[in-house]
Amino acid sequence: MDSLCNACLSGLGGVRGGGVTVMAPHTRQVRYASDPISARVEQLQFLLGEGPCRDAYTRSDPVLAEDLQAPVWQEQWPAFAPAAVLAGAQAVFALPLRVGTARVGVLDLYRDTAGGLAEQTLADALVLADAVTELLLAETLAGGDGDPVLAEGPGGYLLQRAAVHQATGMTSVQLAVPVEDALARLRAYTFATGRELDEVAADVVARRLRFNELDDDDRAGEFR
């Protein structure tokens, strides 16, 4: 995670630093902070119960606060906004980490001066958010034959088989089960049907296959 974020953050114009927080309804873990200001921004949102990270996760949409001293953000986060400015962050941009409708966490970026992100910088930041999401899923799912393999690339570590991760996240949502169980269901269905995992994943991503719509015979076939 450090290698990926450090390599990519240096290329985001105007961005001073960033952090990655893994989130679930009742859990939260800071996985990366580029510097003390980023670490403080992440900590403040947890301590105060408000901030762009929480909003981006809840809404599953980016939250771009270009000037934390602007009235709109001071009203939105009356505790967090002034505390973040005091910590050294004048602007914060929160990008949700998600696979389909499954939420993983948030990538926070900050500037030490007020201002927005250039169009290309925002596009690059969204690519970084996707790569971070894939890496987090790879860490969760690693540990067996057929699991996705990490490949070293110029921007850090990227997944060779992202479709499998996306399909796993979608299956997890469809069946309301943890991602580990969703991957097991994908593998079982693949084995039962005599197909390749990548093919089944592609069908799930394209919505040609939904595990919550399989009939009883199909479900039973997974475990024969």
- pLDDT per position in the chain (224 positions), as tens? 888 888 888 889 899 999 999 987 666 789 999 999 999 999 999 888 899 999 999 999 999 999 999 999 999 999 999 999 999 999 999 999 987 777 889 999 999 999 999 998 998 898 889 888 888 877 765 543 434 333 333 333 333 345 676 777 788 888 988 877 888 888 889 878 888 777 888 898 888 999 988 865 444 444 34
The whole-angstrom separation of Cα 204 and Cα 202 is 5
* Res 85: pLDDT: 97
**What would the two tokens of residue 37 be?**
């200001």
Structure tokens at 219: 């479900």
Residue 163 φ/ψ, nearest 5 degrees: -60, -35
Q: Give me the pLDDT at residue 77, please.
A: 97
d(CA 81, CA 95): 17
Structure-derived torsion over alpha carbons of residues 83, 87, 91, 95, reported in degrees to the nearest 10: -90
- 95: which 2 tokens? 């990008």
Q: Write the CATH number of the domain with boundaries 2-131.
A: 3.30.450.40
Helix (H) / strand (E) containing 204: helix 197-205
Where are the domain boundaries for CATH 3.30.450.40 in the chain? 2-131
Please state, in angstroms and rounded to a whole number, the distance separating the CA atoms of residues 144 and 158. 18
Burial of 196 (0-12, 13-18, 19+ CB in 10 A): exposed
For position 159, what pLDDT does the model report?
A: 38
For the CA atoms of 190, 191, 195, 196, the dihedral, rounded to the nearest 10 degrees, stands at 70
Question: Torsions phi, psi of 209, nearest 5?
Answer: -135, 125
